[in-house]
């Protein structure tokens, strides 16, 4: 991020004064300055509704989309200028990779949102998206300082732990985020994925099912539940859950491979092979390895 007002606010306290080159102001400029020129507007108070993106940002049926856009393909997101709220513009700019635009919007919003945990959490998200976890963590902690029981930065700190391979710490963060907020679904999804990773099938299923009760068409939750049924050998039940999903979703390698594997082990080899032939290409090396492994089994 450019050296901006946003960063300067964090670093200002405790900095030693430095000699600077002063630009001499004209008499007219000085006469136009009043006490009001030094007054900041009243800070915008925290409101729960501000946590949700209330614009149509994508045609994507997912209960998480109002909390996080991370699972929505970039090309399906609206352009920042197509939404009305300024904070939404900044968020969309980050997700679309336009960080210079996001930085400028965040700078403009600083005075109004300086005491709002939503703002600092989203600044942290923007740094996460550009791969700077250290700065992201600073802003997540700033958000928590303003509101101790605020779920999103607690969840996001868990994401940092998970990316670093500290799964036990990630689990604790997701649990805390889930417990402090009854409306936040993102930590529930992340917690379910951790449970699935470590073989806690019943716990994972309960969490995915709770999400599906809120939205019976939630694609990510359905996939998670189908995967867990597949993992314990309930291939027919897994397939019935996959059948509740959009067929377009099968094009995603991680989804199509799991369905193909379930079909193969349930006796439908030809359909499994057809699914593998239709998968979208991916540059993710772990996904490529997984696709290759499933292909070798169903050849």
**Residue range 191-235, pLDDT digits in tens:** 999 998 888 999 999 999 998 998 888 888 999 999 999 999 999
**Range of weakest confidence among 77-91, 252-266, 269-283:** 77-91
**Range of weakest confidence among 26-30, 43-47, 180-184, 226-230:** 26-30
| In the predicted structure, residue 11 carries a pLDDT above the cut 50 | no
| In the predicted structure, residue 255 carries a pLDDT above the cut 90 | yes
Could you give the CA distance from residue 264 to residue 71 in angstroms, rounded to a whole number?
28
Which residue segments constitute the domains of the chain, with CATH numbers given?
44-198 (1.25.40.10), 199-299 (1.25.40.10)
The string of DSSP letters for 240-253 reads: HHHTTS-GGGGGSH
| In the predicted structure, residue 88 carries a pLDDT above the cut 80 | yes
Average of pLDDT values for 3-16? 40
Could you give the CA distance from residue 152 to residue 202 in angstroms, rounded to a whole number?
25
Q: How many residues does the chain have?
A: 299
Could you give the CA distance from residue 74 to residue 97 in angstroms, rounded to a whole number?
9
**Range of weakest confidence among 40-44, 65-69, 188-192:** 65-69
Helix, strand or coil for residue 16?
Answer: coil
Label residue 16 by pLDDT band (50, 70, 90).
very low
Q: Do 107 and 4 form a contact (C-beta atoms < 8 A)?
A: yes
Write the pLDDT tens digit of every residue in 150-163.
999 999 999 999 99
Label residue 237 by pLDDT band (50, 70, 90).
very high
Label residue 34 by pLDDT band (50, 70, 90).
low
**Range of weakest confidence among 59-63, 137-141, 250-254, 271-275:** 59-63
* Burial label, 110 (beta-carbon count in 10 A; 0-12, 13-18, 19+): middle
> What is the predicted pLDDT for the residue at 74?
61
Label residue 173 by pLDDT band (50, 70, 90).
very high
Q: Do 186 and 64 form a contact (C-beta atoms < 8 A)?
A: yes
More confident of the two residues 264 and 34: 264
Average of pLDDT values for 169-196? 88
Q: Do 226 and 241 form a contact (C-beta atoms < 8 A)?
A: yes
> What is the predicted pLDDT for the residue at 273?
94
Label residue 13 by pLDDT band (50, 70, 90).
very low
Predicted TM-score (pTM) of the model is 0.73
> What is the predicted pLDDT for the residue at 136?
95
Helix, strand or coil for residue 98?
Answer: coil
| In the predicted structure, residue 40 carries a pLDDT above the cut 80 | no
Label residue 12 by pLDDT band (50, 70, 90).
very low
Q: In the chain, at which residue ranges do the beta strands (DSSP E only) sit?
A: none
Could you give the CA distance from residue 108 to residue 165 in angstroms, rounded to a whole number?
36
Q: How far is CA 238 from CA 7, 59, 81, 247, 255, in A?
A: 49, 26, 41, 15, 12
Could you give the CA distance from residue 22 to residue 24 in angstroms, rounded to a whole number?
6
Summary mean pLDDT of the chain? 81
> What is the predicted pLDDT for the residue at 76?
64
Q: Do 65 and 71 form a contact (C-beta atoms < 8 A)?
A: yes
């Amino acid at each position: 991020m450019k050296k901006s007002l946003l960063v300067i606010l964090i670093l200002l306290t405790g900095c030693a004064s430095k000699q600077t080159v002063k630009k001499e102001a004209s008499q007219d400029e000085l006469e136009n300055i009043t006490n009001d020129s030094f007054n900041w507007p009243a800070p915008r108070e925290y409101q729960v509704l501000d946590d949700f993106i209330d614009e149509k940002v994508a045609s994507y049926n997912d209960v998480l989309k109002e909390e996080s856009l991370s699972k929505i393909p970039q090309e399906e997101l609206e352009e920042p200028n197509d939404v009305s709220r300024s904070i939404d513009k900044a968020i969309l700019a980050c997700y679309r990779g336009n960080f210079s635009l996001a930085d400028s919007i965040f700078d403009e919003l600083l005075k109004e949102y300086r005491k709002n945990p939503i703002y600092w959490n989203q600044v942290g998200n923007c740094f996460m998206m550009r791969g700077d976890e250290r700065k992201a963590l600073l802003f997540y902690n700033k958000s928590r300082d303003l509101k101790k029981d605020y779920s999103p930065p607690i969840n996001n700190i868990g994401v940092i732990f998970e990316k670093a391979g500290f799964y036990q710490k990630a689990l604790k963060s997701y649990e805390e985020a889930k417990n402090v907020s009854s409306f936040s679904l993102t930590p529930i999804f992340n917690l379910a994925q951790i449970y699935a990773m470590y073989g806690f099938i019943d716990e994972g299923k309960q969490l995915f099912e709770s999400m599906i009760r809120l939205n019976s068409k939630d694609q990510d939750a359905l996939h998670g539940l189908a995967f867990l049924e597949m993992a314990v050998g309930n291939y027919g039940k897994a397939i019935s859950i996959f059948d509740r999903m959009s067929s377009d979703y099968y094009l995603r390698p991680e989804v199509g491979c799991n369905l193909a594997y379930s079909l193969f082990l349930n006796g439908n080899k030809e359909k499994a092979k057809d699914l593998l032939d239709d998968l979208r290409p991916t540059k993710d090396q772990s996904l490529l390895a997984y696709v290759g492994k499933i292909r070798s089994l169903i050849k």
